[in-house]
Amino acid sequence: MIIQEAFAWLFDPANYPGSNGIPTRLWEHVWITLLAVAIATVVAIPIGFAIGHTGRVRSFTISLSGGVRALPTLGVLTLVGLVFGIGLTAPLVALVILAIPSVLAGAYAGVESVDRGAVDAARAMGMTEWQILWKVEVPLGLPLLIGGIRAAVLQVVATATLAAYVGAGGLGGYLFAGINLQDYGQMLGSSLIVIILAIVFEIVFAVLERSVVPAGVSGRTSRRRQDAAERVRTPLPEGNPS
């Protein structure tokens, strides 16, 4: 059975040492994922905060984000790979493009979810717009921002298997090798590692998301955040990764 072959591959000591071993490939996969999401956060968070605070160009940004989300990741990867060649650049660009919409949605939805009464009170106290953003809106909207990053990580960790398509490493190397060799046990085994990695990331970010919820948040605000969180998870239709 394929399942038995998959577990035999997973627990075979010969698959662990060396540059092609499971620990090395796993670390490459994690590194590619975190690097792509980190770059996406640097790009998307300032834009999201500005949109959430001012409300300007919101519709345009959402439409543009939806268009980017609809791009086929494998197509982008191939196109960038033809320009930059084999290596990490092509998958990194494709994965950053994939991650930006979720992070952007989390940033502006978090700021927008803040009770306008709190914002008006801060403004009445004489706070500048910059102080209102960083001392009121960002702390209160942080759970939704973390939720957006969480969604981006889960999308990227699954799609990062395509990095091996242009020789950038990661767990996808086992999938492509399994396809060439018709080794379905190896393919399923490597897929299980990706699934477990995604579950670990999900648990870590779920705990982090709960830990940053400010104390004393009202039930009405909590419901507003839940509604916004649903929009962050599925802000726009998903693109086809292939």
From residue 182, give the alpha-carbon distance in Å to each of 22, 25, 177, 187. Answer: 19, 20, 8, 9
What's the pLDDT score for residue 220? 47
pLDDT at 103: 94
**pTM beyond cutoff 0.75:** yes
Structure tokens of 236? Answer: 């726009």
pLDDT tens readout for residues 93-104 = 999 999 999 999
| Torsion angle of C-alpha atoms 236, 175, 14, 11, degrees rounded to 10 | 60
Q: How far is CA 58 from the centre of its chain?
A: 21
Residue with tokens 């930006």: 100
Q: What is the pLDDT at residue 174?
A: 92
Which of 70, 17, 56, 27 shows the shortest CA–CA distance to 163?
27
Residue 3, amino acid: I
Cβ pair 136, 115 in contact under 8 A: no
Domain limits of the chain?
A: 2-233
Tens place of pLDDT for every residue, the chain, 242 residues? 889 999 999 999 999 998 889 999 999 999 999 999 999 999 999 999 999 888 888 788 778 777 877 778 888 888 888 887 778 888 899 999 999 999 999 999 898 888 888 888 988 888 888 888 888 888 888 999 999 999 999 999 999 998 888 888 899 999 999 988 889 999 999 999 999 999 999 999 999 988 888 765 554 455 555 555 555 555 544 444 44
Sign (positive/negative) of CA torsion 42, 44, 47, 52?
negative
175 vs 45, 172, 191, 194, 216, CA distance in Å?
A: 33, 5, 8, 11, 48
In contact, 109 and 224? CB cutoff 8 Å: no
Query: At residue 115, what is the residue type?
Result: D
Query: If 0-12 CB within 10 Å is exposed, 13-18 middle and 19+ buried, where does residue 171 land?
Result: buried
- Topology given in CATH for the domain delimited by 2-233: MetI-like fold (1.10.3720)
Helix axes 89-112, 219-233, angle to 10 degrees: 150
Q: Residue 161's closest CA among 148, 147, 179?
A: 179
